[in-house]
């Protein structure tokens, strides 16, 4: 209990003193996870919509791949990304390994199946009669998709929440492709692991508390948007 209490005290001190290194780590955490989530939304929602609304040869395989990807171990994604970005990999010429960009790529790969899977389920849950009504009203295909996504917005926001939650708490892939370089690729999760390995339990606890506060703040904001006007 003493370590936890000291960690809370240290977290409060770091917050109110605006420690430059901690602020830099926190901002990078937001930047990497935020961009990765945005990319996963741009990929996952269209993929989930297509899988929910269309039938084509091999659709079952794609659905299985999306569901499989939702539980894909982050360390496996990190290894695959590392192999692609390493000097002798297919994308090694880009020189992205051990950079924030590499971390964004790995986290986007982790989050995209999550967003796609939740989006597919959300759109499939919309009443089929509503789809027919939208078509009967003469809506164009684009209008049809917009209206359908709007009706499934609660599930879509849940998909975004799940995707963001999956990447902001991720550590294995970020450490593998980012290298945990101080002042460059160090984020809250990797910094916590480093401090714990050094025996700085109070600082590791403080960083964990800051990560929880950051994650809760983002999740609470998204939850408010999701539930606004839907309270019983």
Contact at 8 Å (CB) between 25 and 187? yes
DSSP for 157-210 reads: HHHHHHHHHHHHT--HHHHHHHTT-TTTT--HHHHHHHHHHTT-HHHHHHHHHH
Non-local (6+) Cβ contacts of 146 within 8 A are: none
* Confidence at residue 228, expressed as pLDDT on a 0 to 100 scale: 73
Taking the model in full, what pTM does it have? Answer: 0.88
In a domain, 21, yes or no: yes
| Nearest by Cα to 25 from 204, 226, 229 | 204
**C-alpha R_g of the chain:** 20
Q: Which domain holds residue 29?
A: 2-226
- How far is Cα 162 from Cα 139, in angstroms, rounded to an integer? 31
Quick one: pLDDT at residue 21? 81
Query: Would residue 232 count as lying in a domain?
Result: no
Q: Is residue 16 part of a domain?
A: yes
Residue at 22 is within a domain: yes
Is 131 a domain residue?
yes
Q: What pLDDT is stored for residue 66 in this prediction?
A: 92
Contact status, residue 149 vs residue 124, Cβ threshold 8 Å: no
Report, as ranges of residue numbers, the positions in the chain whose pLDDT lies below 70: 1-3, 6-7, 229-232
Indicate whether 15 belongs to any domain: yes
Contact between 116 and 158 under an 8 Å Cβ cutoff? The reply is no
Q: Provide the CATH number for the domain around residue 190.
A: 1.10.3720.10
97 inside domain: yes
Q: Is residue 231 part of a domain?
A: no
**Rounded CA separation 94/11 (Å):** 38
Quote the pLDDT of residue 129.
76
pLDDT at 232: 53
The total number of structural domains in the chain stands at: 1
3-class secondary structure, 57: coil
């Amino acid at each position: 209990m003493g370590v936890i209490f000291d960690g809370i005290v240290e977290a409060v001190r770091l917050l109110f003193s605006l420690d430059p290194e901690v602020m830099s780590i926190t901002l990078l955490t937001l930047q990497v996870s935020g961009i990765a989530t945005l990319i996963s939304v741009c990929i996952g929602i269209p993929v989930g919509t297509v899988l929910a609304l269309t039938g084509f040869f091999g659709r079952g395989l794609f659905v299985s791949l999306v569901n499989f990807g939702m539980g894909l171990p982050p360390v496996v994604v990190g290894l695959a990304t590392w192999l692609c970005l390493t000097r002798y990999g297919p994308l090694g010429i880009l020189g992205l390994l051990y950079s924030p960009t590499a971390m964004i790529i790995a986290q986007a790969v982790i989050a995209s199946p999550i967003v796609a899977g939740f989006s597919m389920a959300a759109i499939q849950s919309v009443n089929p009669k509503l789809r027919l009504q939208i078509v009967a009203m003469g809506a164009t295909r684009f209008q049809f998709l917009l209206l359908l996504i709007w009706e499934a917005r609660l599930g879509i926001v849940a998909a975004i929440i799940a995707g963001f939650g999956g990447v902001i708490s991720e550590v294995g892939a970020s450490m593998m492709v980012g290298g945990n370089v101080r002042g460059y690729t160090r984020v809250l999760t990797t910094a916590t692991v480093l401090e714990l390995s050094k025996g700085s339990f109070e600082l590791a606890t403080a960083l964990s508390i800051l990560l929880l506060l950051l994650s809760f703040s983002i999740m609470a904001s998204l939850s408010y948007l999701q539930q606004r006007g839907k309270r019983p």
